[in-house]
Amino acid sequence: MTEGKDIADPEEPTDAGDRAGLAARFPAGVLTTDPDVVAGYAHDESRLSRRSLPWAVASPANTEEVAHCLRLAAEAGIPVVVRGAGSGLSGAANAPTGSLVLSTHRMTSILEIDTTNRLAVVQPGVITGALRAAASEAGLFYPPDPGSVAFSTMGGNVATNAGGMCCLKYGVTGDYVIGLEAVLADGRVLRTGRRTLKGVAGYDLTHLLVGSEGTLAIITEITVRLLPAPARASTMVAMFASLSDAGRAVAAIGEDAVDTSMLELLDRTTLGAVERKAHLGFDGDVAAALIVQSDALTSADELAAAEAACRRCGATEVVVSSDPDEADLLLQARRLALPALEALGDCLLDDVCVPRSRVVDLVEHIQRVGVEEGLEIGVFGHAGDGNMHPTIIFDESDDASRTAAMRAFDSITACALRLGGTVTGEHGVGRLKSAWLLRELDPVSAEMHARVRHALDPQGLLNPGCLLPG
């Protein structure tokens, strides 16, 4: 980790006269430089990531206005950061000094739900939960469900290739994206992909843009495929007397090829924090819980197999339910994990992913680091994917505590790489992990990243400092 605290970029002098002239050339009603508004667009939900005050916020309503804004920014050489809901956790939507933030909050139309071809076309500012609801009304299913499903945008989800709780069975956002419209840094409009079930013509530019964190182009329209609605899910909670036992059970469920649509882990610290917030009746003696769901037609058999695997690994109690209200309560508990931990102090959230077979090694390392650094670390995450969110609780006003938190963060991220994993499973690289990306990539791959970026954005104006170090 390269950042010490919520760091501001150095001030860059700007010519106020030039900027006023430039502002006047934006489409009517699109630009604001009101300092109170602009300040609200300086950073996302991450901690200890580089951020600063942008110059202005543009809120275009359509592709043409996005292109107009980008042409003006390119002409004036102003960096542009596109922003969805700002719910990101890696500093990817943080603004560089004097930049233009381009917000998609006026681009919120669901343009099409096509039941015959099972696809949807949306503008980037559509909230993911709204698309899921619209698909469901049409008898279809848009699977990706990040914890932020109620407030994050489709544009943000595509640009971070967001995951969520059902990736184990259904994959990540990018697995559903089949076509995009995007505006390049110079204002040209690009269409990628297709509307057909199959299609292999040319380079896969669609998936080059997926996960590009606003560094290659601004996405203005998204085409996703939809699935038939799944069967009603059954849910199980298994309690363990140690975090390591829960980690072993994750591997065992995988080994037994159980058809699960969700496999989430919460440790004692997280369960305690959730309990204090929501009073769901979790026992304070439980060291870890696994929430397991199956939406297979054979869900009863699948959960019986999952229960057997958990008991083999030392589960102290297992409760199975096919009641959708009970399942909702459990999912609510899981979605509360981060906000509940945030009530315990300042939180530095990590996001690492290891092979499922190594989850136990990862959680044991996290526990050791917590003891060594004298820090409480809440552990929760999508254990079935090997994607964990160790959350380091620290005191930002105390230098020693902050330094210890950063050491713990670095140690956990390094451990994930050693275990054959990756530095980010779903939150993205952003500004928080740009140095870590270079540790994960081999030198040739790192060079290709830089070349691709230069090819699409030769002036380097799109989200500078994000993904690759500035």
Ligand X SMILES: Cc1cc2nc3c(=O)[nH]c(=O)nc-3n(C[C@H](O)[C@H](O)[C@H](O)COP(=O)(O)OP(=O)(O)OC[C@H]3O[C@@H](n4cnc5c(N)ncnc54)[C@H](O)[C@@H]3O)c2cc1C
Which residue lies nearer to ligand X by CB, 161 or 299?
161
Find the shortest distance in angstroms from Cβ 438 to ligand X: 18
Strand pairing report for 391-394 and 376-378: antiparallel
Find the shortest distance in angstroms from Cβ 152 to ligand X: 4
* Sheet of 391-394, strands arranged across: 346-349, 391-394, 376-378
Which residue lies nearer to ligand X by CB, 156 or 179?
156
- Angle ∠(199,203,206) on CA atoms, nearest 5: 75
Find the shortest distance in angstroms from Cβ 122 to ligand X: 11
Find the shortest distance in angstroms from Cβ 92 to ligand X: 3
* Tokens matching residue 175: 């697995």
Which residue lies nearer to ligand X by CB, 299 or 463?
463
How far apart CA 400 and CA 324 sit, in angstroms, is 46
- Angle ∠(335,311,168) on CA atoms, nearest 5: 40
Which residue lies nearer to ligand X by CB, 161 or 244?
161
How far apart CA 434 and CA 468 sit, in angstroms, is 5
Which residue lies nearer to ligand X by CB, 262 or 327?
262
How far apart CA 386 and CA 167 sit, in angstroms, is 11
The residue ranges that bind ligand X (CB under 6 A) are 44-45, 81-89, 92-93, 104, 124, 146-148, 152-153, 155-157, 159-160, 162-164, 213-214, 218-219, 338, 426-427, 463, 466
Find the shortest distance in angstroms from Cβ 86 to ligand X: 4
DSSP of 48-77, one letter per residue? Answer: S--B---SEEE--SSHHHHHHHHHHHHHHT
Which residue lies nearer to ligand X by CB, 102 or 246?
102
Measured in residues, the chain has a length of 470
* Other Cβ atoms closer than 10 A to 222: 30
Find the shortest distance in angstroms from Cβ 209 to ligand X: 7
How far apart CA 63 and CA 66 sit, in angstroms, is 5
Find the shortest distance in angstroms from Cβ 159 to ligand X: 3
**Residue 47 DSSP class:** S
Which residue lies nearer to ligand X by CB, 245 or 267?
267
How far apart CA 132 and CA 149 sit, in angstroms, is 9
Find the shortest distance in angstroms from Cβ 340 to ligand X: 10
Which residue lies nearer to ligand X by CB, 272 or 430?
430
Find the shortest distance in angstroms from Cβ 204 to ligand X: 17
> What single letter denotes the amino acid at residue 279?
H
Residue whose C-alpha is closest to residue 100's, from 470, 465, 468, 462? 462
DSSP of 128-170, one letter per residue? Answer: HHHHHHHHHHTTEE-----TTTTT-BHHHHHHHT---TTHHHH
Which residue lies nearer to ligand X by CB, 163 or 464?
163
